[in-house]
Amino acid sequence: MKMDLRNSEYYKYRRYGIYIYKILRFLMMTLDFKIQGADKISENENYIYVFWHQKLFFPTVGFKDIKKKGALVSPSKDGEILTAILEKYGYDVIRGSSNDRNIQSLIQMIKKLRQGHNLGLAADGPQGPIFRIKPGIIYMAMKTGKKIVPIGGAFKHKYVFQKAWDRFHFPYPFTRAAVVLGDPLTVPPDADMEEYSELINQKINKVNEKAEAFLNE
């Protein structure tokens, strides 16, 4: 019987994800983790949480207690690693991206929002350009009326993956970490997408600046 090498390879990447999840659980126990702005979030609403791909660590492990949460993950082999991690943290994962099967992914995410799920999205993922929001996020907010919440984060001591397109930040054990949630923003159904894309870009950058300041208080 011929083995499906593709599935075998994807399974290998999923196992990597499980190992990383175990490392993250241990790492989180060592961090001095502070959150600012959580009081802005209503338990009676669901939101579109947005952040830069560089700061993917924060929403992945920092919001494990949020109920009914979904995330968009690339259908690539590397995406299989993240999928395994997110599922362990209770996320309902949608496989797709802005570059592959984008229409189907957008439809699925809108459906999840209307069903009451919270969505966490790397606004510039999965391949950039870095620090530029994808218009699909604005479109989802326009169509569903759900508010966008920008998330920023910072580590006191971290490793920066300089060769990665997003220059991903990963904390050293026993360091301080800060997360800041911005004000929930409603996008009108007749909004100018370019204008609101620029506005959300600015708001994500602002909460990252606040996280750096909050870390040093």
Q: What are 57's two structure tokens?
A: 């660590």
What average pLDDT does range 191-198 have in this prediction?
95
What average pLDDT does range 10-23 have in this prediction?
90
DSSP state of 214: H
pLDDT at 100: 44
Kindly compute the dihedral angle of the four CA atoms of residues 108, 109, 114, 118, in this order, to the nearest 10 degrees: 140
pLDDT at 188: 96
Q: What are 204's two structure tokens?
A: 């994500």
Kind plus residue range of the DSSP H or E element containing 43: none
Write out pLDDT tens, residues 60-87: 877 666 778 898 888 878 889 989 999 9
Q: Specify whether the CB–CB gap between 24 and 173 falls below 8 A.
A: no
Percent of the chain with pLDDT over 70: 93
| Most confident among 3-12, 124-133, 171-180 (mean pLDDT) | 171-180
Q: What are 202's two structure tokens?
A: 């600015």
Structural domain that includes position 91: 5-215
pLDDT category at 126 given cuts 50, 70, 90 is: confident
Give this prediction's pTM: 0.90
| Most confident among 8-17, 87-96, 97-106, 135-144 (mean pLDDT) | 135-144
How far is residue 213's CA from residue 97's CA, in Å, rounded to a whole number? 32
Domains contained in the chain, number: 1
pLDDT category at 7 given cuts 50, 70, 90 is: low
C-alpha distances in Å from residue 124, one per residue of 16, 187, 207? 24, 18, 16
Task: Collect all residues with Cβ–Cβ distance below 8 Å to 189 and sequence separation of at least 6.
Answer: 142, 143, 145
What average pLDDT does range 149-157 have in this prediction?
96
How far is residue 186's CA from residue 149's CA, in Å, rounded to a whole number? 9
How far is residue 54's CA from residue 56's CA, in Å, rounded to a whole number? 6
- HSE-up of residue 28 (Cα within 13 Å, Cβ side): 15
pLDDT at 73: 86
pLDDT at 9: 73
Write out pLDDT tens, residues 81-121: 989 999 999 899 988 765 545 788 889 999 999 999 999 99
CATH number of the domain encompassing residue 24: 3.40.1130
